[in-house]
A and B are shown apart, each in its own frame.
Chain A
Amino acid sequence: MWMLLAIALPMLAGGALAAWRPKDRTARQNFVVGSACLTAACALAAVFTLRGEDPLVLLSMGEKLTIAFQVDGLSCIFAALVSVLWPLASLYAVEYMSREGSENRFFVFYLSSFGVTLGIAFSANVLTMYLFYELLTLATLPLVMHHMDGKARYAGRVYLTYSMCGAALGFIAMVLMIEHGAWFFQFGGSVTVTASKENTLRMAYILGFFGFGVKAAVFPGHKWLLRASVAPTPVTALLHAVAVVKAGVFAVARITWYGFGPDLLRGSWCQYLAMGAAVFTIVYASSKALRTKHLKRRLAWSTVSNLSYILLGIATLTTAGLIAGMVHMVVHAVLKITLFFGVGAVHYKLHRDFVPDVEGCGVLMPVVFGTFAVASLGLMGVPPLAGFASKWLLATAAVGMGEWIGYLGAAALIVSALLTALYLMEIVLLAFFPRQNRQLTVRVPKRARQDPCWRMTVPLTVLSAGSVVLGLGAGVLERTVSLLLGV
């Protein structure tokens, strides 16, 4: 019951907002934040009470095709992550969007995509997941195209094309999964493998990996994420660093570990192909990030790279790798959303979007850049902050495979960590230690030379403090994840 409520509530709230069209901004803000909090409460209640129960079948079209929901370990992690971050992001969004126009339309879709994301998290079989996966594309498209100028329309077109085509590849995988008996997700794989069908299934897995991988921005389906960074910052921060892209990762984890199963794939050509794509994306995206001067796009490249860390962990096909990947999923979500919020705050107050422009801004906005620095250090993997523990787990899992591709993966992690240090430290150092020793005050009005109001600083502070706590308690996080996954 809690599950259905959590999925339906934000959609209904979005519909209500569309019908209501409040004139009063405060009323809308309260409504948005309130319903986000309520939904999060429902989702968390579902996570705590319903874990491990039988799937709830909502609609049955014969034995094979059902729309069903359940709460298992993997959905717990994803749903809890999204539910904790969404209210905070809503708080930030209501402040940010007050200057961007068309707030009503924005929040209608912003709220509904919460429900759709929870639908992906709670889905009990591949058909349900596919349904919500497509819905997510549609629900977030208006958010990407929010400004409706040339760039936004173009980005929306790219996003739609990539997502639809990725889903087409995923569709093939889905059909083959259902044909081979994967009617419900089961840890360790649910398809029945016969020796003659092995290679067909592997082929289907690869199509599924790259198809669902489009949302996880794995090479070669990564470019929509870069284009989509024209969207307003709350969208880039929450959807393109957490919800949508993590839904892609989540889907890949589902078909790998709960659909086709690791035993079918282990040691075969398709494991090498999947890991190879992840390794390549890690290095390629990090080096592109270094050469990108637009702040949000730099972070978007960094997201592409970090998503492939998680895919690498999943594709090692060892339980240690899966745990490491999930730990990194949580850690990266918290860190990257903080980074995007910081960049968004700079845009909001100073209208600056490029790396050289933040020179000397650290003094003007101490909270924003303080939290940005903490999150940067975390993402770089400076011990004892959050990113270090997850990278350590990932690399030991990759090395633990004992194969050359595992060593290659660990090497890619190291190289990428170096590049991460370069592209993030450049921003932090410029902000706090300006090269020409000048304070950036030229052409910035006096009221802009300060931190934004509490609606922005509170999420920033809470999230960066949370990332520090995650880093210090990484051992607890790892144990929780492995307990939830039951391995």
Chain B
Amino acid sequence: MDRFLLFPVFFPMLAGLFAFQLGRWQEKARDMFVLSATAMELLLVLTIWTNPELSQASVAVEGFCALGIRFQAGGFHTLMALLTAAGWLAASVFCREYMVHVRKRNRFYFFWMLTLGATMGVFLSAELFTAFVFFEVMSFTSFVLVIQTEEYQALKAGETYLAVAVIGGLAALAGLFLLYGQLGTLDLDRMGAAAAAVEDRTLLWAGSLLVLVGFGAKAGAFPLHIWLPTAHPAAPAPASAVLSGIIIKTGVYGILVLSTTIFLYDGAWGLLLAAIGTVTMVLGAVLAVCSIDLKRTLACSSISQIGFILVGTAMVCLLGEHNALAVDGTILHILNHSLIKMVLFPLAGIIHLSTHSFDLNEIRGFGRGKPMLALLMGLPMLSLAGVPALNGYVSKTLLHESIVEYIPLAGEYDLLFSALEGLFLLSGGLTLAYMLKLFVCLFVEKNPLPQEVLDKKWRRRGEHYIAPASLGTIACYLLVMVRLGSEPNMTMDAVAAMTRGFLHGHAPDHPVDYFSPVNLEGAGISLAIGAVVYVLVVRLLLVRKKRYFDPIPPGLSLEYGLYRPLLDLLAKTAVVLATLVDRLLPRLLFQALPRWIGRIHQSGVECWEGAVRRLTGGRYAPQPSVEQAADDEHFAHYEDAPRRGGGFVQSLAFGLILTGLGMAFALLFILLYGIHV
């Protein structure tokens, strides 16, 4: 019976293969097949959720990928699996509307299903090794989703995405080597005990930091968030929805695993996460406020929300045994952010379908006269900003309360954590500010272009801007959000109670009164900050001549300003150093001296020739072609015999070889001599 757990992971992968073959023959049949396969996936996960026999199931496949893999259902695993399956179904429904104008749909659906299976594999994994295996598969398959359109921007974004994924993946792999060497197990249940038994924790820290780099890169934590703001706008809308709603949560999953096994109740780890989380939270929000691209704003908002989640995780570690609020807040914020982004990204796609643009100046006023669209978009925006009676408010309140709870316990750090609370409220305010910016731009302001031009430009008008099926799924999501937000004690507390075992959280002493004046006060402060920022910063500073503009200069990016030059420099240094070791001494002796002499001679000759040319007129000199400029002189030109036949004579290797020959002769001599005597 436990083997049932393999289905959610491997069924979508096989279905993807089948869909690929089917799509060559019949596109419509393939679309229906993909839809029913994702619906089937949701059913599978629901079965696991409801069936008491399966709800704690665990299954191992020995020998797979050398170490074997293991899956586990129950609690947090099942919740994330449910979110994944539901999100994929919703996005697949939306795909039918959105992907009509995108080329190479067959490839898209193939990798779409592979990514689904791999993501399931991460969330259902019972050990870090399994999580890593599927994490890597997911990175590579989702890369194809990012570059689906194959436009220049998409390829560029895909390059960044892949680079971050590969570097992060390898860092995580290196970390896993160290952890496995230290702990002897990567099992989630046993890692904690094994870590507690290790005396010298230096290597544990080194390994965990490397793993943190890997999973943090996928989660979008500073300073490896660089792929998010470019990859989300470039990917097709359904893909960006699952990227933001689900895939970046796999990174969070990994970080949660570390924080609750090796670093259970570890203050130092908590401080580190708090620092990373705070920077991510504020930076993402600031970037989102400045952005003038609808999807980019949403992507930056994802960075910021990941920051909130990381702060929550930090509090889980810092608060020790009494971390009920932090645990609940972290889990619920993951849930809420996923729900909200799964609505907002498809709606951004809907706007793109009509306007063919994400630029706020272009799509300004699109939503005027579309009250339903305003409702659909407004609710999740307000929810993310933390307006009471919606679900986002609940998790943010919990996170806020956990920080407040820790301030008196912080001792010498209490000022720092008061500052953290301030930054938390500020980021919440900035969330409202950028959401207001989007909302006002779309639904309140008028587009400067005359109506006739707009009608021509925005082809799909009136009530037909959204397909009924997409509308239905989005409405379902909204209903869930409202239900969760309006009766948090019945719904959200139950979800938290079911899943908090994964984070080793204890139940709170008494149910939280979410609508008490104390809790409302925090939200009030945050919203007030947001309103002030919107009026003072966005309206006054970021609008010039009635157009939005991005105050961040394009040159100021971590990727192009720091990472790329640094990597290039590293590679070059490595090659130069290695070549030096090989060639320095012989070259100096045999080549450099003659060459310097030759160069002086050459310049003399050139001066002479220049003078002659000026007197007699120019001479034709062919330029080398691309192939001639290749890396190696012996392959570069197509002459029959290379110019310098002794290319290898001046290397260390040759010296060694000569030594070998000499010793062989010496040995021969000794042997012969020995025989004589």
**B-binding residues in A (CB < 8 A):** 149-151, 153-154, 158, 161-162, 165-166, 168-169, 171-172, 175, 207, 210-211, 219-223, 226-227, 230, 280, 283-284, 287-288, 290-294, 297, 354, 356, 377, 381-384, 388-390, 392-393, 395-396, 399-400, 410-411, 414, 417-418, 421-422, 425, 429, 433, 435, 437, 471-476, 478-479
Contact = CB atoms under 8 A, between A and B. Distances in A.
A377 B660 CA distance: 40
Contact of A220 (B134, B177, B641, B656): B656
Interface in B132-152: 132-134, 136-137, 140, 147, 150-152
A154 B630 CA distance: 18
Nearest to B573: A287
A395 B177 contact: yes
A383 B136 CA distance: 6
A151 B644 CA distance: 11
B578 interface: yes
Interface of B: 62-68, 132-134, 136-137, 140, 147, 150-152, 155, 158-159, 162, 166-167, 170-171, 173-174, 177-178, 180-181, 571, 574-575, 578, 581-582, 626-627, 630-632, 634-635, 639-642, 645, 648, 651-653, 656-658, 660-661, 663-664, 667, 671
Contact of A384 (B133, B171, B634): B133
B641 A150 contact: yes
A239 B162 CA distance: 33
A172 B667 CA distance: 8
Nearest to A414: B174
Nearest to B576: A287
A294 to B, nearest CB: 6
A291 B631 CA distance: 7
Contact of A414 (B159, B173, B632): B173
Contacts of A292: 631-632
Most chain B CB neighbours (cut-off 10 Å) among A154, A162, A211, A472: A154
Given A227-B634, A400-B181, A433-B155, A473 B63 contact: yes
Contacts of A393: 66
Contacts of A472: 64-65
Contacts of B641: 150, 153-154
Nearest to A390: B66
A247 to B, nearest CB: 19
Contacts of A162: 653, 657
A350 B155 CA distance: 26
B571 A384 contact: no
25 contacts: A154-B634, A154-B641, A162-B653, A165-B661, A168-B663, A169-B663, A171-B664, A172-B663, A172-B667, A175-B667, A220-B582, A223-B651, A280-B581, A283-B574, A288-B575, A292-B631, A297-B632, A356-B626, A396-B180, A400-B181, A414-B170, A414-B173, A472-B64, A475-B64, A475-B68
B108 to A, nearest CB: 13
A165 B657 contact: yes
Given A389-B65, A392-B66, A410-B177, A168 B664 contact: yes
Contact of B653 (A223, A230, A410): A223
B571 A396 contact: no
A435 B155 contact: yes
Contacts of B645: 154
B392 to A, nearest CB: 36
A165 B626 CA distance: 36
Given A288-B578, A414-B173, A429-B159, 14 more contacts: A168-B664, A223-B648, A226-B632, A283-B578, A287-B575, A290-B571, A383-B134, A383-B136, A383-B137, A388-B136, A392-B173, A410-B174, A414-B171, A473-B63
Given A399-B181, A414-B173, A383 B65 contact: yes
A283 B64 CA distance: 29
B571 A418 contact: no
A418 B166 contact: yes
Given A161-B657, A389-B66, A392-B67, A280 B631 contact: no
A219 B653 CA distance: 8
Contacts of B635: 151, 230, 294, 297
B657 A383 contact: no
Nearest to A223: B648
A354 B177 contact: no
Given A207-B660, A421-B166, A475-B64, A433 B640 contact: no
A417 B168 CA distance: 12
A390 B65 CA distance: 9
A409 B381 CA distance: 50
B170 to A, nearest CB: 5
Contacts of B180: 396, 399
Contacts of B651: 220, 223
B430 to A, nearest CB: 36
Nearest to A157: B645
Contacts of A175: 667, 671
Nearest to B578: A284
B137 to A, nearest CB: 7
B604 to A, nearest CB: 32
B642 A154 contact: yes
Contacts of B627: 354
Given A384-B64, A433-B150, A293 B630 contact: yes
B368 to A, nearest CB: 36
Contacts of A210: 656
Contact of B631 (A169, A172, A293, A390): A293
A464 to B, nearest CB: 15
B68 to A, nearest CB: 6
B660 A168 contact: yes
A354 B630 contact: yes
Contacts of A223: 648, 651, 653
